[in-house]
Amino acid sequence: MVEPEKAVWVEIRNVVGALKDIASTIASHEGNIVHIEQLGSGETVHLYLEITGACDLDKLVEEIDCLEVTVKTSTVPTFYQIYGKRVIVVGGGAQVSEVATGAISEADRHNIRGEKISVDTIPLVGEAEIAEAVRAVARLQRAKVLILAGSLMGGEIKKAAQEIQEQGIKVVSLKMAGSVPDIADLVVSDPIQAGVMAVMSIADTASFSIDKQKGKTY
């Protein structure tokens, strides 16, 4: 997918039909909404819109700004331009913190070179809770790789990991008990190194292919 050059940030009145008016205007300019978020719940709310295909984005913004439901419209950098690709770390608190240390340190090296990679973490306990968090990764915009950090993971977590792999998300696992390491794209014993290698696997400024590591343990 072609990344939009800019995103549209719109403050609109929180009334029935407002989103329809915005979407109809975008469609009239042959624009396609590839990502949308709504923030707020008061009399006015904000929409963050990433749009592709519009013939003239500036003209589209002007037209949105003239709608009765619109309070204010502007263009802003996209989340990809600001935060870039996302590394997600899920699992036990102690392991998550160590993995995050490695991932953040490696992301810093690549971001200094002009790339954008961000790291999100959540420490969780319980098979059901972790499995739901894993499945949710596929719904996170710009998520590219998931690191599972723990001492025992399998069952429903394994199923969830396989589901997101089918949607293009790479899965890195710490070396642990359970069946998750059996299906992971990469298994790493050291949590700091796991974070480093996960970032390397998605960085444009690194020469590392996770596909060539399938089935290997480090």
Mean pLDDT of 94-122: 96
pLDDT at 1: 60
Q: How far apart are CA 41 and CA 163, in angstroms?
A: 33
* Average of per-residue pLDDT values in the chain: 95
Architecture of domain 7-78: 2-Layer Sandwich (3.30)
pLDDT at 3: 78
Threshold 0.85, pTM exceeds: yes
- Using one digit for the tens of pLDDT, what is the confidence trace for 109-168? 999 999 999 999 999 999 999 999 999 999 999 999 999 999 999 999 999 999 999 999
Please check whether the domain covering 84-213 is classified as CATH 3.40.50.10550: yes
For residues 99 and 149, is the Cβ–Cβ distance under 8 A?
Answer: yes
| Length of the chain (residues) | 218
- Using one digit for the tens of pLDDT, what is the confidence trace for 43-90? 999 999 999 999 899 999 999 999 999 999 999 999 999 999 999 999
Paired residues of 73 in beta bridges: 10
pLDDT at 213: 79
List strand residue ranges (DSSP E) for the chain, in order: 7-13, 32-39, 44-52, 70-76, 85-91, 117-123, 143-149, 170-174, 186-188
Domain spans, the chain = 7-78, 84-213
Mean pLDDT of 177-205: 95
